[in-house]
Chains A and B, each alone.
Chain A
Amino acid sequence: MPCRKKTILTFLAVAAGGVLAFSQAVHANGATVATVRFSGDRFEPAKLTVPANQPFTLEVTNADKKAIEFESFDLHRERVVRPGQTITVYMAPAAPGHYTFCDDFDHSVAEGAIEAR
């Protein structure tokens, strides 16, 4: 493959990767915003991906009829979310890894996960 073509292809691949990696909404201040919705007794999506080593915010919407406590023991966050409410959770830069969250009011609700990479 001619060198120039290879460079262009590499550039395209990197650009595509970048777009994929940051397909979450990005705030004016540059922080990634991930969203999660609680309804029908479960978190949707159950797994989120965020960039590692950067602050991000998580918007949690409770579309259910009962209050939940969004809790991540791994990421040290604990927030009550009333029915119909959307809260913004500010997250400090996280090292690459797998972090779980749950409804601490109801442990029969399946855990969700945040993947920082």
Chain B
Amino acid sequence: MSGRTRGWLFGLAAILAIQVLRMPVRNGSAQDGFEAPPEVRSAVLTACFQCHSERARWPWYTQIAPFSWFVHAQVEEARKRLNFSSWKDYLYDPGTAAQKFGAINQMVRSDAMPPWYFRALSARGRLTAAQRAAIETWAIEGRARALKAEPN
């Protein structure tokens, strides 16, 4: 066996071996309590739910180690900070709702969300200008409403 072939075989074996620790994205049992005007809801469902919800559906090839490790870590961090499956619970505390609405507006307006790699790799991440505007308006209004309920 040439050194080159041995190298390839070793690489293949290593990739197979790490599949033991694949860490696929799993969804919790939380309900999807996210309510918003239809155009906002559909845009968020398409562009945000993959990371920010318990309703993530990643294609199989993203669930192969080592890519799956990256995806898994991103989804964990994203859900911790903003989980649309916990949306109703955020609304229960107007102060928290105001912050979440504010952060959404800021992230979408500044093009920080969805993340650049997601926009590059998936058509789901590429929102139209109209979709972005709908999310921003909804977030600005939601924040104003929440602040009226709990000025702080």
Question: 7 A-B residue contacts at CB 8 Å?
Answer: A76-B83, A76-B86, A76-B89, A80-B99, A85-B152, A89-B93, A92-B89
Q: Determine whether A91 belongs to the interface, using a CB cutoff of 8 Å to chain B.
A: yes
Question: Could you say which of B83, B86, B89, B96 has the most chain A C-beta atoms within 10 Å of its C-beta?
Answer: B96
A79 to B152, Cβ gap below 8 A? yes
Instruction: Please pick, from B80, B94, B152, the residue contacting A90 in the complex, using a CB distance under 8 A.
Output: B94
Residues of B within 8 A of A (CB): 80, 83, 86, 89-90, 92-96, 99-100, 150, 152
With the chains together, A90 CA to B90 CA distance in Å? Answer: 10
Chain B residues near A90: list those with CB within 8 A: 92-95
Nearest chain A residue, comparing its CB with the CB of B86: A76
Q: Determine whether A78 belongs to the interface, using a CB cutoff of 8 Å to chain B.
A: yes
Nearest chain B residue, comparing its CB with the CB of A72: B96
Interface residues on A, range: 10 to 19
B99 to A78, Cβ gap below 8 A? yes
With the chains together, A83 CA to B86 CA distance in Å? Answer: 29
A91 to B152, Cβ gap below 8 A? no
A78 to B92, Cβ gap below 8 A? no
Q: How far is the CB of B85 from chain A (nearest CB, A)?
A: 10
With the chains together, A19 CA to B152 CA distance in Å? Answer: 33
Q: Determine whether A77 belongs to the interface, using a CB cutoff of 8 Å to chain B.
A: yes
**5 A-B pairs closest in CB distance:** A90-B93, A76-B89, A76-B86, A79-B95, A92-B92
